[in-house]
Amino acid sequence: MARDIGKALCLAAAISCALLHAATFFTVVPRLSILVPFFLTAGAVLCSRMVQGWNLSDYRRAPFPTPKGKTAAIGWVLLVYALFLFVHFYKSSGGASSVGIVQGQFVYMYKSAVIRPISEEEYNMFPTQVARIMSAWIGMMATFCLSSLLQPATISASKNESDLN
């Protein structure tokens, strides 16, 4: 039952990430809109832990195999895409972690240090760019979680015995 709920949560998270990601190309999205796919993915991860077993230090916990198949291939593509988005944003913003208004001028900032002045449009699009990057990351995580939940967890007795030595 937890596996089925986890699959449904993964699909819901992936769909909400795709919709949010597409929306970032057309409009300014609210800052907190990324929380919906985040909590859906968190619920899916909890379901996968229930399938796997709760004991964190138990060496006998059934590990999920490396994701394989079509779903995993989509996950790998999303990983590369998310890395590309992150690097592009980091380079274009100069490593900014926020935006602000200093002495009446819009600026990229890192902590309290001003990186460089920006236009009003860049200032308004900053939360949307962050949502775009985060939706790609969370979508990738949801896809890999779904790939793991689609494969049965396996554990071999010989692996457990070799871990004891």
**CB-based contact 13:139 (threshold 8 Å):** yes
Residue type, position 108, single letter: Y
Six-digit token pair at 160? 């457990």
Least confident of 73-82, 94-103, 155-164: 155-164
**CB-based contact 72:144 (threshold 8 Å):** yes
pLDDT in tens, 36-83: 999 999 999 888 878 776 666 665 566 666 777 888 889 899 999 999
Q: pTM of whole model > 0.85?
A: no
Hey, which residues does 113 pair with through a beta bridge? 110
Q: Which residues contact 157 (CB under 8 A, 6 or more apart)?
A: none
pLDDT of residue 97: 82
pLDDT of residue 164: 41
- DSSP letter for 153, please: P
Alpha helix (H) ranges present in 59-119?
Answer: 70-93
pLDDT in tens, 127-137: 888 899 999 99
Instruction: Provide the terminal-to-terminal Cα distance of the chain, rounded to the nearest Å.
Output: 35
Q: Which helix (H) or strand (E) holds 149?
A: helix 120-150
pLDDT of residue 9: 93
Spatial separation of the C-alpha atoms in residues 33 and 157, rounded to whole Å:
45
